[in-house]
Amino acid sequence: MTRSAEAALLVTASVVAAFGTALIGFTRGVGLDAQVALTFIVFVSSFGSVHLALRRWAPSANPYLFPLAAFLTAVGITEVYRINPSLGGVQRWSLLLAGLTASAVLFLLRGDGVAALRRYRFLFLTAGVALLLLPLLPDTWPIHGIEANGSRLWVGMDIPGGRELSFQPGELAKIALAVFLASYLADHHLAMGTTRRKIGRLDVPPLGQFGPILLAAGAAFAVLVYQRDLGASLLVFALFVGAIYLATGKLAYLVVGGGLVAIGGIVSYQMFDHVQRRVSAWLDPFADFSDTGYQVAQGLFALGSGSLTGSGVGLGRPDLIPAAATDFIFAAVAEEMGLAGAIAVIAAYALLVAAGFGIALHTRDLFRKFLAASLTLVFAVQSLLIMAGVLRLFPITGITLPFMSYGGTSLLANMTLLALLARISHGART
């Protein structure tokens, strides 16, 4: 019964995507064209393959994860396609690949499920850290880092034919690190949750237990310094601190983590130009409108002009915002679909996060419980950070909005993340 409800929802989400593409055709004056059919076919094939994989290998998995993802992707791809049709075309192929990857993950984990990953804890830690630092590879190597907009978070790979394949390894690192954390915490949460001393009203675990947090702080700071990637840096650190707090329930970890963020923030503000620019654009984007504040200010204009129902897809000017198809996709959606569209998007994220934590709550096995919680946490923090950045509640962190931003790696990583969550929710009580 749950799976047929899922199928119905996936069809509606695919219709949303096709309708969005049709809208753009109408505003461009070309009317209905083959693009509409192509979008619909890609959505149905991509999510259809995941749906069939779930029916076969995880029939009692949560039926809302992939429909919500399909809905967010539909709204996102509409706006990406509207901003730049060729990017929209690429994103369609990425979606197809991401759907097949998620199905493949469900196939590979068909036996014991995610429990099989628990043994390879240090492999995942190594992979996570390596992926995080991969963009530091020198420019002349066949696999090399790429510097864009002052940050070094891309990796290019030369492929035959003189072309280059580029991807964002940080998006995959978050999954590897979540698997490591879940496995580590499943074995160590008791020791980390033991408290013998109190400082004021705060239970304090033994000092040695703060090791993982300090390690994460070091890695996050390295990413901030050498890659100038504020987003990945904050995301990795929030994942570690949040997951440890979820597993132990000890407030001391949050306090220490928050303190380290404050210290790191102040130090990097003093030391680095790129952090200073982000902060000043956040505090007062109009002080330096034409330069550092331009992106944030244009984002605000877009949000403001959107009003209740928006300008209509294809009728606004989201192209005025730098990085409208990636970091600022939320501003573009709010401009052309209005407050109504923006709230629908936020509701879909909230439902996804609620579903994720619900899976964690109802899973008995500790590794799978912690893995569900960590994956949901990293997804939630990423969505929150970038939407808050666009709304000027937080400095811009330069990470993608899951499922909506243009970007193949991001789409692939987040579909894989959902496949893992879905597999955990299948047979959660054992």
Binding site residues, another protein, CB under 8 A: 2, 5, 8-9, 12-13, 15-16, 19-20, 23, 26-27, 29, 63-64, 67-68, 71, 75, 189-190, 193, 247-249, 309-313, 315, 337-338, 340-341, 344, 347-348, 351, 358, 361-362, 364, 366, 369, 429
Beta strand extents in 181-304 (DSSP E only): 197-199, 202-204
Q: Which is nearer to another protein, 2 or 126 (CB)?
A: 2
Q: Are 303 and 335 a contacting pair, CB within 8 Å?
A: yes
- Distance (Å, rounded) from C-alpha 253 to C-alpha 346? 29
CB of 189 to another protein, least distance (A): 7
Closest C-alpha to 400, from 235, 250, 222, 265:
235
Q: Tell me the closest approach of the beta carbon of residue 286 to another protein, in angstroms.
A: 30
Q: In the complex with another protein, which residue's Cβ is closer, 163 or 364?
A: 364
Residue 143's H or E segment, with its range, is strand 143-148
Smallest distance, Å, CB 314 to another protein? 8
| Shortest separation between residue 322's beta carbon and another protein, angstroms | 25
Which residue(s) pair with 166 in the sheet?
156
Please, are residues 146 and 135 in contact by the beta-carbon 8 Å criterion? yes
The closest of 91, 83, 72, 32 to 316, measured between CA atoms, is 83
Least CB distance to another protein at residue 320 (A):
20
Closer residue to another protein in complex, CB, 84/195 = 195
Residue 163 or 196 having the CB closest to another protein: 196
Minimum Å gap between C-beta 315 and another protein is 7
* Token duo for residue 411: 């789409």
What span, in angstroms and rounded, lies between the C-alpha atoms of 298 and 82?
Answer: 18
Task: Please give the DSSP secondary-structure letter assigned to residue 223.
Answer: I
Q: Are residues 213 and 260 in contact, defined by beta-carbon separation less than 8 angstroms? A: yes
Q: Take residue 382 and report the two structure tokens written for it.
A: 């990423």
- Residues in Cβ contact with 384 at an 8 Å cutoff, skipping those fewer than 6 apart: none
β-bridge mates for residue 186, sequence order:
none
Q: Whose Cβ is closer to another protein: residue 156's or residue 356's?
A: 356
**Please, what is the minimum distance in Å from the beta carbon of residue 176 to another protein?**
24
* Side-by-side strand order, sheet with 163-167: 143-148, 151-159, 163-167
CB of 83 to another protein, least distance (A): 16
* Cβ nearer to another protein, comparing 96 with 351: 351
Shortest distance, position 151 Cβ to another protein, whole Å: 33
Q: Whose Cβ is closer to another protein: residue 16's or residue 83's?
A: 16
Count Cβ atoms within 10 A of the Cβ of residue 259 and give its class: 0-12 exposed, 13-18 middle, 19 or more buried: exposed
User: Measured from the CB atom, is 132 or 404 closer to another protein?
Assistant: 404
Lookup: tokens for 328:
């600022």
Q: Which is nearer to another protein, 65 or 173 (CB)?
A: 65
